[in-house]
Amino acid sequence: MAGRGILLQQDGVTIGAVSFAYDDPGRTTGIYIMRNPDKLAGLGRGEVSGAIA
């Protein structure tokens, strides 16, 4: 199953990301939170589906 996630933005800048991992039956097996600005630099440049304003 594909992962799902949320980008956290403030004033148009990505400040965090939360992603979820699932097993084959679809149960959540992990929740990952990233706040490292160096690793976040490449996020938020692609298409975003289901954006919440």
Q: What is the pLDDT of residue 40?
A: 87
Q: What is the pLDDT of residue 17?
A: 92
- Nearest CA among 22, 18, 17, 16 for reference residue 2: 22
Domain ranges, ordered by start, for the chain: 4-36
Q: What is the pLDDT of residue 44?
A: 58
Confirm if 49 and 24 have CB atoms less than 8 A apart.
Answer: no
- Nearest CA among 40, 50, 49, 47 for reference residue 10: 40
CA 50, 1, 46, 40 torsion-angle sign:
positive
The one-digit pLDDT tens for each residue of the chain (53 residues) are 456 889 898 888 889 999 999 999 989 999 999 999 888 887 755 555 555 55
Q: What is the pLDDT of residue 13?
A: 85
Q: What is the pLDDT of residue 29?
A: 93
